[in-house]
Every structure is written in C-alpha cells, then in structure tokens.
Amino acid sequence: MREKHNLWWVAGITCLVIVFLVGCSTLQTKINLAGESEHWTGQLDTTVTKGESEQGAYIISYNKDKDSWENVQNFKISINNGQIIRQETGLASASIQFPIMRTEGSKVSDEEDQTVEIEWTDVNGEKYEESMLLQAK
C-alpha cells in the first residue's frame, strides 16, 4: 500500500515539474524582423517576457554605398507611425541602434510587420524619403 502512495507522489511531482518547465518556456517570445529599402536595411531583434517587458534593439543601417554614409547630414527615423522617433544631425557610423528596454507597460514590438520611415538630407542639401517594412525572418 505504501508503494502505491509513493508512486502517486512521484507521478504528481513529475507532472508539476513538466507543467512548470512548459510554462516557463512560454514566458519569453523572441521576435526577429528584417527589411530593406533602396538605401537602408533594418532589423528588430528582441525578447518579450510575459508580454509585458522587452529587451532588444532596432538596428537601421545605411547600405546604398557603404563608404558614403558620411554624406547623410540630417536624418529622422520614425518606427510604427511615430511610436519611436529619432532625429539627429549626421551619422556617427553606418548603423543606428535603437535599444529597447521596457520593464512594464505596453511593448513597442509584437510579431506583426513594422513600418520604418526614414527622411534624410545629403551633403548637397538634397532630400530623400524612404519606407521599409520589417517582417519576420
């Protein structure tokens, strides 16, 4: 009789461990999106935990002519209709990083496509505007 009791106890603990491990694996979601326009490439790599906190980054890179990124004088990048906006004078390198670190509240990213709008001026004062769609890799 005691052996049956121990067997049920072991089976119950095993089930709890399995439920716990499966539950923990669904707490985090990795999101990887990428896209390209004529002059730019973009990607989003982030991890969302419990749908509330998030850690990752958007990386937007000038790719038309790898050596001419210094010609970009002013730029404005808008992600998801202005949820994230970055505007600066000149590029410090060919890539621009937008770190994402949220500990609570709504998250910027989800598993849906995301739109990136880029406006910039070159050294000759010529204005450009492009849009790219970041989609699942």
Could you give the domains of the chain?
A: 28-136 (2.60.40)
What's the CA gap between 137 and 133, in Å, rounded?
A: 12
- What dihedral angle (degrees, nearest 10) is formed by the CA atoms of 83, 79, 111, 104? -30
pLDDT of the residue at 69? 79
Q: Which of 75, 82, 81 is nearest to 60 (CA)?
A: 75
**Burial class for 107, CB neighbours closer than 10 Å (0-12, 13-18, 19+):** middle
Q: Which of 117, 29, 38 is nearest to 80 (CA)?
A: 117
pLDDT in tens, the chain (137 residues): 555 556 666 565 665 555 555 555 558 888 899 999 999 999 998 888 876 788 889 999 988 766 677 888 889 999 888 888 888 887 778 888 888 887 765 455 566 888 999 999 988 899 999 999 999 87
pLDDT of the residue at 67? 63
Residue 87: HSE in the Cβ half-sphere, 13 Å Cα cutoff: 5
**What is the 8-class DSSP label of residue 57?**
E
